[in-house]
Structure 1
Amino acid sequence: MVDGPGGIVILKPEGRLNMVAAPGIREAVASIVDSGRARVAVDLSGVEFIDSSGLGALISGLKTTRQAGGDLRIAGANEQVKLVLSLTNLERVLTPYDSVEIAYGDA
């Protein structure tokens, strides 16, 4: 977890975002929101693989941040992650940005 510009918190998971890693993402986002911040960027540049559990964690984080008046945005996704988002039609909800800086360009 890293503090970014404009009060944004940047999460940077590494490796595989699957059923093993998903609970950690959910807990991290909940902790961020509990600390009073609700703008989260998830930098996926270090994620080589995502499955339905990983997608579920991101959607859960999106819901948590939006309920707190914020947002969760994803950035740096590789082709596998983008393909999974496309196949599940989740790119409409979780738009993949090229970088964290672009994701919150309004910060």
Structure 2
Amino acid sequence: MGLALHTTRQDGRAVIAARGSIDLHSSDDLRERLTSLVDGGEERIVVDLTAVDFCDSSGLNVLVRAYKHARAHDAKLTVTGAYGRVENVLRTTGLDRFLIEGPPAGDTTAEV
């Protein structure tokens, strides 16, 4: 399965709902969408991973680079809806500390 992206705007933020797998073959689509939103002046971007069943290192790389690109433009990028394998990879790599909105309970080191 590939990756489908749907962008909406709600409550002053751009929400990208992703569906499918974020991997070497599909991560460029996500990168392009995130870059265009940041470059277009969006200040709050949320990537909804609820319908994403797989994310490899190329997908993680896109999320990290987009996070840094957003910060460089005084914007905020977060992810929501990660579960199962996707949540596990975010937690295992420590990326949950800054990609998932709000630090985990007791964690005060949410900045990178």
TM beyond 0.5:
yes
TM class by smaller structure:
0.7 to 0.9
Report the Cα distance in structure 2 between the residues aligned to 1:15 and 1:40, rounded to whole angstroms.
Answer: 19
Q: Look up the equivalent residue of 2:29 and give its one-letter code.
A: G
Larger Cα Rg: Structure 1 or Structure 2? 2
RMSD: 1.4
Task: Indicate yes or no: 2:4 matched with 1:2.
Answer: no
Which residue of 68, 77, 84 corresponds with 1:79? Answer: 84
For the residue of structure 2 that corresponds to 1:14, the secondary structure is strand
Report the Cα distance in structure 2 between the residues aligned to 1:62 and 1:95, rounded to whole angstroms.
Answer: 11
Could you say which residue in structure 1 is the equivalent of 2:73? 68
Moved over 4 A (4+): none
TM-superposed deviation, 1:36: 1.4
TM-superposed deviation, 1:95: 2.0
Report the Cα distance in structure 2 between the residues aligned to 1:23 and 1:93, rounded to whole angstroms.
Answer: 22
Identity among equivalent pairs (%): 33
Give the length in aligned residue pairs.
Answer: 96
Task: Indicate yes or no: 2:51 matched with 1:46.
Answer: yes
Question: What do the CA deviations read for 1:13-65 (whole angstroms, capped 9, x no partner)?
Answer: 11001111111111111111221113100000110111111111111111111
Could you say which residue in structure 2 is the equivalent of 1:26? 31
Structure that is richer in strand per residue: 2
Tell me the TM-score normalized by structure 1. 0.82
Tell me the TM-score normalized by structure 2. 0.79
Q: Look up the equivalent residue of 2:62 and give its one-letter code.
A: A
